[in-house]
Structure 1
Amino acid sequence: MTDAVKNSAYDVVVIGAGPVGENVADRTRAAGLSTAVVESELVGGECSYWACMPSKALLRPVVARADARKVPGLGGAVQGPLDADAVLAYRDEEASHWKDEGQVSWLDGVGADVYRGKGRLTGVREVSVTGPDGRETRLTARHAVAVCTGSRAVVPDLPGVADVRPWTSREATSAKEVPGRLVVVGGGVVGVEMATAWQGLGAQVTMLIRGGRLLPKMEPFAGELVADALTEAGARIRTGVSAVSVHRPAQDGPVTVELDDGTSVEADEILFATGRAPRTDDLGLDTVGLEPGSWLDVDDSCRVAGSDWLYGVGDVNHRALLTHQGKYQARVAGAAIAARAQGDPLSRTEPWGAYAATADHAAVPQVVFTDPEAASVGLTLAEAEEAGHRVRAVDYDLASVAGSGLFAQGYRGRARMVVDLDREILRGVTFVGPGIGELLHSATVAVAGEVPLDRLWHAVPAYPTISEVWLRLLETYRG
């Protein structure tokens, strides 16, 4: 850990020490560039303490029990409730009990200097760090400043919302006890995952969805299958309604949510899973001619438009708000920063090259860890058509694959590949069903590699696995 100094110069200054900032620092240090990393909260960021790790720790026991209940000879042994205290303890362990010593040690190990405090741009290649004790340190970057501050949950400005102490994704993943009743506002990934987790842990969940379906950014059948399973588990899903006001009359009393159809819902806690905003509002963007609070417009090397030194990596550029995609961008940006520092102007930034985060446009993978799981990569059918591609959707019932019947009785699922008819490659793939998350990387390789369908015929799936769906999809396409 670096002792605070009045002025220090580095080759690279990284603002934000989440997974994205850590990976930028790792790549710039590997290239021999001195690197400072500034963090105002916990080193390891949102993913480690309030998102990926704690949420999946909450979900894993819920989904494992749901899968086990469908296995002959095992279902009767797992009919009781989950041990909520044990699950929460497991969650705490996976979140490192909200302590970051291990992450700090990792950054120390790669040779990056960590500065605790609030980092703000004060001019070109200049960052001011205000430490916990109020002391200021000024850092100068010889080559680059990388903004890796991520995003924050958005709470709608509803009457009464300030007084009800609403949950966002942070409270939903770190809560110390199971609420009796939980209202979830929003049907995206955070909404469905937290509804799945807390319903499985014993809460009575009601979801309020302004639109017509869950998981609106995925193929329509994904949200339909997840909604069916949530409803069967006991959750209530109300679509086409919006909250107009909320109130909690007593300090420890219930929350009442008034809806635009004239009805109301009462719960012990309310979670708003209604979108994200960039954490750039107090970053000093105005000192370098940018709008405070805005998403950062970047090129494929993650360099901010109009700048030769400022990079926006991860959520702040709004390209793909996913930890793994931000880490991918960090690897690209780190390589680009190092090359430019060595005098390479990167005149060639061709797609799929070392300095271009092309997958952000063409092959973004995502797994939604619900019951059933939903996983996708690349474009949906609607997105491919909107982009002007001549495509065809090829669907297959996952329950018809031998491996799915062995995985669980009564298996329900669906697979779709979106075929580019002109190039005979895949533009996108979606799987929905129990246990399909680990299938996704095969689809990601096919989409990112633009593997011709004729060659995919020679990728033989092992029998009897769920991955046999690849053969069935190709057979369906060929007719």
Structure 2
Amino acid sequence: MTRTVENAHAYDVVVLGAGPVGENVVDRVRAAGLTAAIVESELLGGECSYWACMPSKALLRPVLARSDARRVPGLAEAVRRPLDAPAVFAHRDETVGHWKDDGQADWLGSIGVRVFRGHGRLDGPRRVAVEGPEGERHLLTARHAVAVCTGSRAALPPLPGLAGARPWTSREATSADRVPGRLLVVGGGVVGVEMATAWHALGAHVTMLVRGDGLLPRMEPFVGERIAGALRARGADVRTGVAVEAVVRDGGSGPVTLVLEGGETVEGDEVLFATGRAPRTEDVGLETVGLEPGSWLDVDDTLRVTGSDWLYAVGDVNRRALLTHQGKYQARIAGAAIAARAAGDPLDGAAPWGPYAATADYGAVPQVVFSDPEAAAVGLSLAEAGHAGYRVRAVDVDMRSVAGAGLYAQGYSGAARLVVDLDREVLLGASFVGPAVGELLHAATVAVTAEVPLSRLWHAVPSYPTISEVWLRLLEAYRDRA
């Protein structure tokens, strides 16, 4: 039998959602001397820690390490055996703390943040109502700010038969402990590509079904082409330009059949739908403050919701960049802005790179896709830069010309592109695809963010023989075409 106990509490800041974004908000405001509470209905640490970034990379790390080792003479024969799937799953489980959040709870307590477990909803301006797991009710009042940091969830298309077919989403794909014989992957974005890479290497026969023309459509076309080619070369079936019209699975178990446009069918043992994200704002009380439930929240550069002087929306919920590192970046900005406003400090003059403006959300968002080969990009693609009105040039280099790449892996195959603003001779974007290119990305992010002139980049000398020498080859290619 549940009980109802109503308790009132007041804090300077109340945060809805205890994922990495919410945790960073409370960390920043506590460091500024404000009191803070955080509300979470699931595990402290959120999607990234238990069902996204951390478990997916734990699954992918042995896949990529084995792939790299197979390209090294003298080592290749030692790693010809199949992956030990149970050992990979055990490492994944350890990485996510066996889906227990004791460590996160201890850390929040150590910085003086009160944790409220249960479902939190806005209850009018500056108020949050929390329904606890045993029916207890808490009413939290925020003196300065409430931050909605509830993230996003997998969005499933409204297909006939899908609701009862028990499809995988990103959560099931990163937490499953059995390798399906045949895995159907619907979608060609980051989740689809990474999970196709992981589960194929673990022993599943993977069929990818992509509505668009290629994989990773937000990156340069050559990136998705190389990854699709590599997946096909390893035996995966990658189909583009196809649409799923229905799902058939008797009783929600056994084989699953996808009906494609035109009537063709494809059968698998499990199906992963990686078809986008939706904001987790459908039941957080937005209607009590005049906002639409289930909507993405518009914010200014301090992450304050448009039209409000107390409500903030940080991370995925504002749809600026659905990436953990960007959400944590926004949280640092929002925490600083909340603390400054609470102290009565002016925020004027903070842009473009001050502590109160999340301007990196616009043209300097980095992303690594842990596929095989890896993909990494920051800033604008060539098409995006052209559409934005810049006068641009693409500078392309085949990474086989880089001595360090050949040493890293025999038969190294990769490509790099810079997008150059010809009027200012600065970088607008950079893209890489190939083994280990994720480690090249931060240098590109610094160059794009700081708008470093190409004339200065000539004096940033890459170490020889490393893969980073691709920077010299790119600058030489630009110079030789000038």
| Maintained 8 Å contact 1:153/1:276 | yes
Q: Distance in 1 between matches of 2:144 and 2:474?
A: 49
Query: 3-state SS of the aligned residue for 1:6?
Result: strand
Query: Which residue pairs with 2:86 in the alignment?
Result: 85
- Partner Cα separation in structure 2 for residue 182 and residue 11 of structure 1: 48
Aligned match of 2:155: 154
Structure 1 residues 259-285: Cα deviation after superposition (integer angstroms, max 9, x where no partner):
003211100000000000000010110
Maintained 8 Å contact 1:241/1:261? no
Shift of 1:233: 1.4
CA distance in structure 2 between the aligned counterparts of 1:149 and 1:210, rounded to whole angstroms: 29
- Distance in 2 (alpha carbons) for counterparts of 1:261 and 1:403: 48
Instruction: Please name the residue that 2:62 is paired with.
Output: 61
**Which residue of structure 1 lines up, in the alignment, with residue 386 of structure 2?**
385
The residue type paired with residue 258 of structure 2 is V
3-state SS of 2:430 partner: strand
Q: What is the letter of the counterpart of residue 78 of structure 2?
A: A
Q: Alignment partner of 2:123: what SS?
A: strand
Q: Structure 1 residue 348: deviation in Å?
A: 2.6
Could you say what the CA RMSD is over the residues aligned between the two structures, in angstroms?
0.9
- Partner Cα separation in structure 1 for residue 148 and residue 356 of structure 2: 18
Retained in 1: the 8 A contact 2:164–2:251? no
Do the aligned partners of 2:165 and 2:253 also contact (CA within 8 Å) in 1?
Answer: no
- What residue number does 2:286 align with? 285
Distance in 1, matches of 2:51 and 2:347, equals 37
Distance in 1 (CA, whole Å) between partners of 2:81 and 2:223 is: 28
Name which of structure 1's ranges 249-258 and 196-205 shifts more when overlaid on structure 2.
Answer: 249-258
TM-score by length of 1: 0.98
Distance (Å, rounded) in 1 between the aligned partners of 2:467 and 2:43: 40
Pairing 1:8–2:9 present: yes
C-alpha displacement of 1:37: 0.3
Match of 1:199 in 2: 200
Residue in structure 2 matched with residue 348 of structure 1 by the alignment: 349
Aligned ranges for residues 439-454 of structure 1 at < 5 Å? 439-454=440-455
Q: Which amino acid aligns with 1:327?
A: K
Secondary structure of the structure 2 residue equivalent to 1:300: coil
1:37 corresponds to 2:35: no
Superposed displacement of residue 252, structure 1: 3.3
What is the count of residue pairs matched by the alignment?
476
2:259 equivalent in structure 1: 258
Q: Which amino acid aligns with 1:193?
A: E
Counterpart secondary structure, 1:72 = coil
Between the aligned partners of 1:84 and 1:457, the Cα distance in structure 2 is 46
**Structure 1 residues 318-329: aligned runs within 5 Å:** 318-329=319-330
Unaligned runs of 5+ in 2: none
Pick closer, same or farther for the CA change 1:331–1:263 going to 2, 3 Å.
same
Q: CA deviation at 1:250?
A: 4.8
| 1:105-135 residue CA offsets vs partner (Å, 9 max, x unmatched) | 1111111110001010010000000001111
Counterparts of residues 458-473 of structure 1 (less than 5 Å): 458-473=459-474
8 A Cα contact 2:223 2:375, kept in partner:
yes
Determine helix, strand or coil for the equivalent of 1:221.
Answer: helix
Gaps of 5+ in 1: none
- 1:122-168 CA distances to partner (integer Å, 9 max, x unpaired)? 10000000001111100000000000000000011111111110000
Whole-angstrom distance in 2 between the partners of 1:478 and 1:110: 52
Moved more, 308-317 or 338-347: 338-347
Aligned-partner Cα distance in 2 for 1:387–1:111? 46
Match of 2:338 in 1: 337
What SS does the corresponding residue of 1:162 show, helix, strand or coil? coil
User: For the Cα contact (< 8 Å) 2:183–2:270, is it kept in 1?
Assistant: yes
What is the aligned partner in structure 2 of residue 101 from structure 1? 102
Deviations 1:28-67 (A, max 9, x none): 0000000000001000000000000000000011111111
Which residues of 2 match residues 73-472 of structure 1 at below 5 A? Answer: 73-472=74-473
User: Residues 115 and 250 from structure 1, CA distance in 2 versus in 1: closer, same or farther, beyond 3 angstroms?
Assistant: closer
Find the counterpart in structure 2 of residue 475 from structure 1. Answer: 476
Residue 410 of structure 1 and its aligned partner are, at CA, apart by 1.2
Separation in structure 2 between the aligned mates of residue 279 and residue 253 of structure 1, nearest angstrom: 31
Superposed CA offset, 1:174-220 (max 9, x none) = 00111110000000000000000000000000000001100000000
How many Å separate the matches in 1 of 2:282 and 2:335? 24
Return the offset for 1:389: 1.1
In structure 2, what is the Cα distance between the partners aligned to 1:243 and 1:321? Answer: 25
1: CA distance between counterparts of 2:253 and 2:241?
Answer: 30
Q: Secondary structure at the match of 1:161?
A: coil
- Note if contact 1:301-1:336 (Cα within 8 Å) is conserved in structure 2: yes
| One-letter amino acid of the counterpart of residue 373, structure 1 | E
Q: Which amino acid aligns with 1:205?
A: V
Aligned mates of 2:102, 2:199 — CA distance in 1: 29
CA contact (8 A) 2:7 2:137 kept: yes
- Mapped partners of 1:278, 1:272: distance in 2: 17
Q: Which residue of 2 aligns with 1:70?
A: 71
Shift of 1:347: 2.6
Counterpart position of 2:26: 25
Q: Secondary structure at the match of 1:57?
A: helix
- 1:52-97, CA deviations, whole angstroms, 9 ceiling, x for partnerless residues? 0000000011111111111101111111110000000001011110
Q: Distance in 2 between matches of 1:61 and 1:405?
A: 21
Secondary structure of 2:282's partner?
coil
Query: What SS does the corresponding residue of 1:334 show, helix, strand or coil?
Result: helix
Give the alignment's TM-score, normalised by structure 2: 0.98
Distance in 1 (CA, whole Å) between partners of 2:417 and 2:99 is 39
Q: How far is 1:172 from its partner?
A: 0.3
Distance 1:455 1:261 in 2: 56
Counterpart code for 2:237:
R
Q: 1:90 corresponds to which letter in structure 2? A: H
Give the Å deviation of 1:7.
Answer: 0.2
Give distance in 1, aligned partners of 2:395 and 2:110. 48
CA distance in 2, matches of 1:340, 1:221: 46
Q: Which runs of 4+ in 1 moved over 2 A?
A: none
Q: What is the alpha-carbon distance in structure 2 between the residues aligned to residue 160 and residue 345 of structure 1? A: 55
Q: Which amino acid aligns with 1:406?
A: L
Amino acid of the residue matched to residue 45 of structure 1?
G
Worse overlay, 249-258 or 352-361: 249-258
Q: Which amino acid aligns with 1:181?
A: R
- Match of 2:174, as an amino acid? T
Q: Is the 8 A contact 2:131 2:137 kept in 1?
A: yes
